Structure 1
Amino acid sequence: MAIVHAPSTGVPTAPRIPVRDTGVDLVRAVCVAGVVLLHAIMVGVTVTDTGPVFANASDGAWWIVPLSWLLQVMPLFFVIGGFAGLVAYRRQRERGGTASAFVAARIHRLLRPAMIVIGVVGATLAVLTLAGVPLDLVAVAGFRYGQPLWFLGVFLFCQALLPALSALHDRAPLRTIAVLAGLALAVDLARSVTGIDGIGFVNLAFVWLALQQLGFFFADGSVDAFRPRTRGLIAAGAAATLVLAFATGVYSPDLIANINPPTGALLLVGLVHLSLLSLFRERIALLSTRPRIAAVSAFVNRRTMTIYLWHMPVLLAMAGASAIFAMAHGVVLPDPGSALWWLGRPLWLLTALALTAAVAVSFSRFEEKAAPAFSHGISRSVGAVGLGVGAVALLLVVGTTPFTATAAVAAMLLAQRLVAHDQTAPRAASASPTSSAWRSVRTMSGTTPRRPERAPRAR
């Protein structure tokens, strides 16, 4: 039975562990498709007398502002990530799992498909270099590929902290979300006062953690407990505040610009998304049961990370193929933003979706493969998360090259080895009452205290 937080105090009356929500799965699938479409429409490729030119078609374009309001789905993605993560964690705890085991499973699910695509991209860049492709074009390809990888590092970081933030949510839900949101706004203020844009990257933690935390309120039923009119007012109020912030120059009206670095505007977007998701939850759930829609949703949800990780290499390959075809046949590619360019966007977008889906089918086995047994050591989990986040940071800061790709893959492999269970270690019998009780103590405390000595057997 679903019970909720009292809106006035934020104190939970009991834990709630909902069943899998096909409506939420559908929304996640739409978010993934939205990301692919957004990045696909930002690809700009032309050919000049000096060769092909690859650029971001949205740079300085007026159309990115209204489009960003439609396709900026990352706040919703992290809200859903909080919802799904909390549900999975609570179910795992019911089965006697630990926080470390939850984190280890997330490391496996996120890093295993990532190291495959990073390895393939690194090898491809090496081949292009050896084939004589100009180094500046190879560098551009590596840079463009690495840009979306911020999500992998940040999502891994947020999911790793989910058990701890779940405990804070159980004790003080409103205070926890208020602190995270307040810290995010404080970073925005510091950035504005000092004029140092680099300060804003601290919000890679606070903004996305706050959005993940919003998903906890959706998972435990707090949001659905409000009357529909109240949820509508929350959505309208957040949207009005967002428009006011744009009008007064506090935040850019381009929601894509507000992601690099993240700003408090995304918190307002997430609040709008969450309120609307709750308002239309039943309709979305009903829609998700239609056979064709359910099939598409299931296809995407089984391959979420694979699709995300592979869509940029697909787009880069499409851009490269377009340039090669244009140079080989003397075709003039339309300038990004021109009428002819827009005329070709529907075919371009459909091709991007189809090719990404095809590639995802080929590589999804790395994401879908069952996770192995995991170590319960928190120190190993912390080290593995550090290696995974560090590998992504290396590709973002230094750039994706054959060398950095090799280093990133090695770090991800080591991260997974750190949390993998030592198969040579003796295992306690699963049917042992003492072992079961001890697992319960370990689960509740989150630690592994020293096992007491066995009493001598009576003769």
Structure 2
Amino acid sequence: MAVIDLSPHRPSPPPAPPAGSHRDPGIDLVRALCVVAVLLVHGLQVAVTSGAAGPVLEYATRGAAWYPPLTWVLQVMPLFFVVSGFAGAVGLRRLRARGGSVTDFLAARVHRLLVPALAPLAAVALALTALAVLGTPESLLAEAGLRWREPLWFLAVFLGSQALLPMLLRAHERAPWASLFALVGGAVAVDVLRARTGIDAVGYANLALVWLALQQAGFLLADGHLERLSSRARLLGAIGSVTFLAAMVLGGVWSPDLIAHLNPPTTALLVLGAAQTMVLSLLSPRLAAVALRPRVAAVTGFVTARTMTFYLWNLSALLLLAGASLLLAGQGLLSLPEPSTTEWWAARPLWLAASIALTASIAWIAGPLERRRMPQPTRSVRHAVQAIGLGIAALGLVLAAGATPLSAMGALVLLLLALGRARSPQALPAPVAGGVR
């Protein structure tokens, strides 16, 4: 069992610079655990029942008293951005040490994040078209499309955050704490303005400020700034952050449902992220030791090599399970209890296990797409920026218009254009005479 040193003397020495280091096994383990937490949240949210007017796809968590306390454990998006900031700083510095450029980094980010989105977008376009032809109720199709498209916000924001990582890493290297507090201050100002004006749309400015601040905290972790604080200071920081979060919730300022703070993001996520980062810093040696165990390393490697595939296919897997449940219920082979009832809870372990197993199976099949080697990247900064813009536009199209066959196909076209822009022209097959190859 790991022992936390609470003595105020001698802070831990800073680790060696990460520029030439290998992947951090503890950080990879945390990222894999974040993926599992997201799968659990999605699995608990999705429910299917048989109503008087037909099948109903609904949020099982809406209005459920048991859900807000659970989100204090399962809201891991702040932690995910922190560990992504850590990994991004290490990866970019390693790339620079090998003679690579910022353009190489941006092109690689476009490739790694957008290629896994191609297959699920194509699949949802085909599935929705087929279901419409088979006479599936339009309301059910609309609800399924709504459920499927919701996680895409993360991919759009994450792509934007990674695009700004090189610039913000330079700011961190010049003034680590000042660059972090500038972003935090901006996020607080947005929340204050939103509260005073009553205009919720103002809060969407924090789609940038909140997540970039958490990414910036990952730079502090990568450079050992937090390890320079004593264990006591970090523990008190974690306890203080949770205490402040609880006080704001009890005071009615923030919702106790921490998942609700995603849309739009609020500074509650920064406070939660501060606690998670301090705990991660304290437990880092222990996590690294656990991550090196062969079985843990095997599972971690499988998940982290397919992070986006897991994320993007999870809702599809849940919708497949929901459809299968409706078919079985129609044959009298399965009951569909109301959410939050005793019968519903009794079925949750099997439901969650089945959803994770199905998602993992899809990830095993589709995972090679995410792990495809990046073609020769573009040498043009302008083309790399255009690729990022096209990628965000593709995801924004589905988020704004909903997941329909038309919007999914339009997004596919934009994603292919983005991936083409991220490649060097020399990487594309050359046409031969007559236009035939």
Q: Shorter chain as normaliser: what TM range?
A: over 0.9
Q: CA RMSD in A?
A: 1.5
Letter in 2 for 1:170: E
Q: Distance in 1 between matches of 2:224 and 2:158?
A: 23
SS of the equivalent of 1:315 reads helix
Shift of 1:224: 1.4
Matches for 1:229-378 after TM superposition, within 5 Å = 229-329=232-332, 331-378=334-381
Q: Which residue among 209, 220, 223 is the counterpart of 1:220?
A: 223
Shift of 1:16: 4.1
Which residue is equivalent to 2:148?
A: 145
Identify if the C-alpha distance between structure 1 residues 151 and 424 changes in structure 2 by more than 3 Å, giving closer, same or farther.
Answer: closer
Q: Distance in 1 between matches of 2:81 and 2:139?
A: 35
Q: Distance in 1 between matches of 2:126 and 2:336?
A: 29
Q: Which residue among 149, 158, 162 is the counterpart of 1:159?
A: 162
Q: Distance in 2 between matches of 1:119 and 1:424?
A: 24
Per-residue CA deviations over 1:402-442 (Å, capped at 9, x if unaligned) read: 000001010010001112011189xxxxxxxxxxxxxxxxx
Which residue is equivalent to 1:127?
A: 130
SS of the equivalent of 2:259 reads coil
Number of residue pairs aligned between Structure 1 and Structure 2: 414
CA contact (8 A) 2:395 2:411 kept: yes
Letter in 1 for 2:353: L
Which residue is equivalent to 1:113?
A: 116
SS of the equivalent of 1:225 reads coil
Q: Unaligned 5+ residue runs, structure 1?
A: 1-11, 426-459
CA contact (8 A) 2:121 2:412 kept: yes
Which residue is equivalent to 2:8?
A: none
Which residue is equivalent to 2:81?
A: 78
SS of the equivalent of 1:47 reads strand
Q: Unaligned 5+ residue runs, structure 2?
A: 1-13, 429-437
Per-residue CA deviations over 1:207-227 (Å, capped at 9, x if unaligned) read: 111111100001111111211
CA contact (8 A) 1:32 1:308 kept: yes
When the two structures are superposed, what TM-score results if normalisation uses the length of structure 2?
0.92
Matched, 1:69 2:89: no
Larger Rg: 1
Mean Cα deviation higher: 357-366 or 12-21 = 12-21
Identify if the C-alpha distance between structure 1 residues 13 and 341 changes in structure 2 by more than 3 Å, giving closer, same or farther.
Answer: closer
Identity level (%): 48
CA contact (8 A) 2:376 2:427 kept: no
Q: Distance in 1 between matches of 2:350 and 2:247?
A: 37
Which portions of structure 1, spanning 4 or more consecutive aligned residues, are displaced by more than 2 angstroms?
12-19
Q: Distance in 1 between matches of 2:323 and 2:294?
A: 37
Which residue is equivalent to 1:56?
A: 59
CA contact (8 A) 1:47 1:327 kept: no
Identify if the C-alpha distance between structure 1 residues 13 and 304 changes in structure 2 by more than 3 Å, giving closer, same or farther.
Answer: closer
Shift of 1:328: 2.5
CA contact (8 A) 1:380 1:418 kept: yes
SS of the equivalent of 2:82 reads helix
Which residue is equivalent to 2:434?
A: none
Which residue is equivalent to 1:88?
A: 91
SS of the equivalent of 1:52 reads strand
Q: Distance in 1 between matches of 2:202 and 2:393?
A: 19
Q: Distance in 2 between matches of 1:306 and 1:29?
A: 12
Identify if the C-alpha distance between structure 1 residues 422 and 239 changes in structure 2 by more than 3 Å, giving closer, same or farther.
Answer: same
Which residue is equivalent to 2:171?
A: 168
Q: Distance in 1 between matches of 2:132 and 2:311?
A: 26
Letter in 1 for 2:329: A
Which residue is equivalent to 1:44?
A: 47
Identify if the C-alpha distance between structure 1 residues 363 and 331 changes in structure 2 by more than 3 Å, giving closer, same or farther.
Answer: closer
Per-residue CA deviations over 1:335-363 (Å, capped at 9, x if unaligned) read: 00001100111111111111110000010
CA contact (8 A) 2:71 2:259 kept: yes
